[in-house]
Structure 1
Amino acid sequence: MPKTFVLAPDSFKESITAEQACQAMQRGIQKIFADAYFIHVPMADGGEGTVDTLVSCLNGQIVDCEVTGPLPNQKIKTYFGLVEDGRTAVIEMAKANGIHLLELSQRNPLLTSTFGTGEMIKAALDLGVSKIIIGLGGSITNDAGAGMAQALGAKFLDENGHQVAVGGGQLDQIRMIDISGLDARLKQVEIMIASDVNNPLTGINGASHVFGPQKGATPEIVQRLDQNLRHFAELIAKQLNIDLKDIAGAGAAGGLGFGLMVFAGASIRSGVQLVIEQTKLAEKIAQADYVFTGEGGIDFQTKFGKTPFGVAQVAKRLNKPVIACTGYIGEGVEDLYNEGVTAIFGIVDGVCDLPTALENGERNLERRCENIARLLK
């Protein structure tokens, strides 16, 4: 009786996409199970690959656009997805305002903004969508979504009534919030945030302290950014009577989670759970003999909503074995064995530097899956 394999990996960051990972897994397994049936479900958790995953699984289409990049005068060509016969747009904020769009020397969260993400939302509204899914992973911003709101018609005024420039470093200049010009269509669409981050907006576990350093913030800048976010949130509570700074996920993407909830009425969801639902992963795993998943690294953070954890939870309910492949195995993975993961395999053979490991990711994954298949046989 031919075996059925469900292949549901995330991307291996900076190495291979989720779809390439599916193909590599299949090539390896097929060498041993030549007559096997394969179901590809490339996964994502709201970060890199979310648009491509949902467009691929739901037979959607790509919409090209040009928007403002992370820095004010930077224009970039990018894209978002349309699925469900054009009724739903899928946007990755990182495609407009992601960390990968700036060189190391350019990264400064005092200057970067989410303005381009707002322009992508506007482009989706112009196409008449009724729902927008926004993935928040991989940002280079720390402006609490102020730039996004400005692109959609909100005005932030200083003590002289002048508009405040976009960027996380300017939020403390704001004295008045004017949302009279905010795009009215936001009230007519459902906006869902897909995020793998549960951080609040401010404080020691907030956006600035936890994610600021990787975006180029020094300890002094981190303090300033956090104070700016707090000022902005207090102003919103006072003038708009909305207080969401402590909601889990408000700190996602430098506070864009907060901004989308405040100005666009968005609801926030676990990114991987949202993708699991959209791709009907449970229906596919129900048919499987074996489930393969994986991503670039698996460690103690994986159980807080990363793709392998989400896949394993579905498989556990259906009593299916889960094999996870990864570039590196970190500390604290033991917890995953109680959460549905049957076994975890590193794919890197021998000692090598990171660039070599990234370059050989596809080949290493294929070879590891072939060896796992030999064991299963």
Structure 2
Amino acid sequence: MKILLATNYMKGSLSAVDATNIIKKAALTVDKEIQIEKIPIADGGDGTLDAIKLYTDYEERTSQVSDPLGRRIQAKWLIIKDNGEKTAIIEAAQACGLSLLKPEEYNPLKTTTFGVGELINQAVENNCKKIIITVGGSSTNDDGSGILQALGIKLLDKDNNSIPKGGEGLKNLVSIDISGLNPKLKDVKILVACDVKNPLCGKNGASYVYAPQKGANPEQVEFLDKNLSEFADLTTKTTGNDYRNIQGTGAAGGISFALKSFLNAELIDGFSFIADISKLEDKIKNSDFVITTEGRLDSQTLEGKAPFQVAQLAKKYNVPTIIIAGSVENDINLKNSGITKVFSMTNETVSVEESVKNASILLENTAKRVFSFLKL
């Protein structure tokens, strides 16, 4: 039996690579003859940089940038060669990720994408002619305004002063001055690898769907959505383009909206990008079973997250897909998802804190159950 482990990052606990190694170890304790192939994956969110490093030649760089709350940190990024030209790979979560904060620090009113803009500047200074930015896993809901500020665009209040960084500061915005934009960017192609397909605003937009996970209460969600909408109005007035309803512009609190609006970035599907460079589809069609992972399997997973897309690819070749999830939403509808069976690592009696702390052993034990099931 040939098993493909197309594992995904498990939020807050295990990288895709760690998950793969744990599952393989469990498999071999159950069946020493089983054939395992490992393809750690990502969809543009946390762990995308590590996944890319497995499938391409690269130079790793480290730059000092601002974290989501303005503290100086070291962020990693990559340079790869593409037809002889330098291409930078930037994982936004390295500078504005939720994983950089303690839970008590989650606050999308204050968190900023400024550090991501600093990484873009670094890539430009290193003569990169293409920049691919993966944008999932952010702690921000600032519409990418921090990025714009770092790149030299002035976001001004009624007194012609720069607005504060973060989602809350957007309420003071009355004008946008693009004259100071880094001139070297005009010769750079920018692609944004999105992990979700949400538009910028509204009930299915960045604020309503994702800001609660970043620390916003219902009143703040409404406030943030209003700020994003008004920012989009002013952006349209400034650039002549209105991209707020395009799929993916709500990714990472609006980062992709800002990059498309002001830098003419191309939005691409983060999972497809990784699937292409890892040759995932070829691996799937030559497998008997596919196993993938998810921190929490819920309705958002089925809106295009990596595990769902793995299952859809496998369905194309009639290859069954098993998902191992940290937890599973009650009454989730898996019809037409391509997901054959789900194994949960926890039950209702296990807290989130416990499951994160004990993720390795919980995953190993669950994987043993999976492979015992496959032997039947």
Fold equivalence (TM over 0.5): yes
Aligned residue in 2 for 1:147: 146
1:78 aligns with 2:79: no
1:300·1:331 contact (CA, 8 Å) conserved in 2?
Answer: no
Shift of 1:91: 1.8
Q: CA–CA distance in 2 between the matches of 1:294 and 1:106?
A: 27
2:196·2:305 contact (CA, 8 Å) conserved in 1?
Answer: no
Shift of 1:324: 1.5
Aligned residue in 2 for 1:197: 196
Aligned residue in 1 for 2:354: 356
Q: CA–CA distance in 1 between the matches of 2:292 and 2:78?
A: 24
Aligned residue in 1 for 2:232: 233
1:6·1:40 contact (CA, 8 Å) conserved in 2?
Answer: yes
CA 1:22–1:154: 2 relative to 1, 3 Å: same
Greater alpha carbon shift after TM alignment, 203-212 vs 291-300: 203-212
Q: Which amino acid is the alignment partner of residue 258 of structure 1? A: F
Q: CA–CA distance in 2 between the matches of 1:163 and 1:334?
A: 47
1:89 aligns with 2:88: yes
Q: Which amino acid is the alignment partner of residue 156 of structure 1? A: L
Shift of 1:307: 1.7
Gaps of 5+ in 2: none
SS of the equivalent of 2:136 reads coil
CA RMSD of aligned residues (A): 2.4
2:197·2:304 contact (CA, 8 Å) conserved in 1?
Answer: no
Aligned residue in 1 for 2:208: 209
Gaps of 5+ in 1: none
Aligned residue in 2 for 1:169: 168
Shift of 1:8: 0.5
Shift of 1:104: 4.0
Aligned residue in 1 for 2:18: 20
Aligned residue in 1 for 2:182: 183
Q: Which amino acid is the alignment partner of residue 157 of structure 2? A: D
Greater alpha carbon shift after TM alignment, 201-210 vs 20-29: 201-210
Q: CA–CA distance in 1 between the matches of 2:165 and 2:295?
A: 34
SS of the equivalent of 1:202 reads coil
2:239·2:262 contact (CA, 8 Å) conserved in 1?
Answer: no
Per-residue CA deviation, residues 298-337 of structure 1 (Å, 9 max, x unaligned), is 233322111221111111122222222112222344425x
1:196·1:304 contact (CA, 8 Å) conserved in 2?
Answer: no
Aligned residue in 2 for 1:312: 311
Shift of 1:183: 2.2
1:203·1:209 contact (CA, 8 Å) conserved in 2?
Answer: yes
Greater alpha carbon shift after TM alignment, 115-124 vs 150-159: 150-159
SS of the equivalent of 1:20 reads helix
Aligned residue in 2 for 1:257: 256
Q: CA–CA distance in 2 between the matches of 1:140 and 1:146?
A: 14
Q: CA–CA distance in 2 between the matches of 1:122 and 1:90?
A: 13
Greater alpha carbon shift after TM alignment, 29-38 vs 347-356: 347-356
SS of the equivalent of 2:300 reads helix
Q: CA–CA distance in 2 between the matches of 1:151 and 1:225?
A: 21
Q: CA–CA distance in 1 between the matches of 2:171 and 2:352?
A: 40
Greater alpha carbon shift after TM alignment, 180-189 vs 247-256: 180-189
Q: CA–CA distance in 2 between the matches of 1:346 and 1:214?
A: 21
Aligned residue in 1 for 2:288: 289
TM-score by length of 2: 0.90
Q: CA–CA distance in 2 between the matches of 1:232 and 1:19?
A: 39
1:41·1:57 contact (CA, 8 Å) conserved in 2?
Answer: no
SS of the equivalent of 1:243 reads coil
Q: CA–CA distance in 2 between the matches of 1:207 and 1:350?
A: 28
CA 1:104–1:131: 2 relative to 1, 3 Å: same
1:10 aligns with 2:8: yes
Greater alpha carbon shift after TM alignment, 87-96 vs 31-40: 31-40
Q: CA–CA distance in 2 between the matches of 1:308 and 1:206?
A: 21
2:156·2:175 contact (CA, 8 Å) conserved in 1?
Answer: yes
Q: Describe how 1:342-353 pairs up with structure 2 within 5 A.
A: 342-348=340-346, 351-353=349-351
1:93·1:139 contact (CA, 8 Å) conserved in 2?
Answer: yes
1:91·1:132 contact (CA, 8 Å) conserved in 2?
Answer: yes
2:78·2:90 contact (CA, 8 Å) conserved in 1?
Answer: yes
CA 1:170–1:318: 2 relative to 1, 3 Å: same
Identity of aligned residues (%): 39
SS of the equivalent of 1:335 reads coil
Q: Which amino acid is the alignment partner of residue 61 of structure 2? A: V
Shift of 1:159: 3.5
Greater alpha carbon shift after TM alignment, 39-48 vs 193-202: 193-202
Shift of 1:349: 7.8
Shift of 1:130: 3.1
Q: How many residues align?
A: 373
CA 1:319–1:188: 2 relative to 1, 3 Å: farther
Q: CA–CA distance in 2 between the matches of 1:272 and 1:131?
A: 19
SS of the equivalent of 2:13 reads coil
Aligned residue in 1 for 2:99: 100
Q: Which amino acid is the alignment partner of residue 19 of structure 1? A: V
Shift of 1:280: 1.4
Shift of 1:188: 2.8
